[in-house]
Chains A and B, each alone.
Chain A
Amino acid sequence: KNEVEQSPQNLTAQEGEFITINCSYSVGISALHWLQQHPGGGIVSLFMLSSGKKKHGRLIATINIQEKHSSLHITASHPRDSAVYICAVRSGGGADGLTFGKGTHLIIQP
């Protein structure tokens, strides 16, 4: 079973700061997901990665397969980025579910 560790657990930053959230996993994967959960529970998929780097607006996700590590970066952070960010991995190639990290609670203060 894959173990997924995220750091930090909690992060408070000022508006405009560059944010990095880290994720490491123990076993080789077929895909890694970054998810965002706002207060109230709704989860939105931000990225799905199997190699390299993806960018969407101010969000950048990178993955290093050899090191079993991924990072989510937020540039020019804004209070509306405040949310829980969750890393999740799929280990197999079938339709099985994801294994999740415990999440990083991000607060961006104005």
Chain B
Amino acid sequence: DVKVTQSSRYLVKRTGEKVFLECVQDMDHENMFWYRQDPGLGLRLIYFSYDVKMKEKGDIPEGYSVSREKKERFSLILESASTNQTSMYLCASSNGLGGETQYFGPGTRLLVL
């Protein structure tokens, strides 16, 4: 079974803090994604990566950066957390280039005070 794990299920941070969200997948997938999910807005793509050290902006990249130094790990970084970044963050991975199934992690619920 594909397993996608995220470093924390719940996280509370203060405005202005630097926040790291880690995602690890164990199936040697090429593609990894970070989404946020908000009530009434659904899931929205923040960043994705299709190879080590490669990254592409999604629909809402502002206020975020990412790092992919190893194939299995994709990190989402909030350089200076703000209250409007309070959300559920979901990581996913997939293989190939043609619409393949994405496998999701359990999510990290982040609260920024």
Chain A residues whose C-beta falls within 8 Å of the C-beta of B98 in the assembled complex: 30-31, 93
Report whether B90 and A41 are in contact in the complex, using a CB–CB cutoff of 8 Å: yes
Within 8 A of B (CB), among A27-43: 30-31, 33, 35, 40-43
Name the residue in B43, B103, B104 with the highest tally of chain A Cβ atoms < 10 Å from its Cβ.
B43
Contact of B88 among A31, A41, A45, A97 (CB under 8 A): A41
Contact of B35 among A50, A97, A101 (CB under 8 A): A97
User: Chain B interface: which size bin?
Assistant: 20 to 34
Contact of A95 among B30, B43, B59 (CB under 8 A): B30
Say yes or no: is B41 at the interface (Cβ < 8 Å to chain A).
Answer: yes
Report whether B97 and A86 are in contact in the complex, using a CB–CB cutoff of 8 Å: no
Chain A residues whose C-beta falls within 8 Å of the C-beta of B58 in the assembled complex: 96-97
Please list the residues of chain B having a beta carbon within 8 angstroms of any beta carbon in chain A: 30-31, 33, 35, 40-45, 48, 50, 56, 58-59, 88, 90, 92, 94, 96-104, 106-107, 109
21 contacts across the A-B interface (CB closer than 8 A): A30-B98, A33-B101, A35-B104, A41-B88, A41-B109, A43-B90, A43-B104, A43-B107, A45-B103, A48-B100, A86-B42, A93-B99, A94-B50, A95-B30, A95-B31, A95-B48, A95-B96, A99-B45, A100-B42, A100-B44, A101-B42
The 9 closest A-B pairs by CB, nearest first: A31-B99, A97-B45, A41-B107, A95-B50, A43-B104, A102-B42, A100-B43, A95-B31, A100-B42
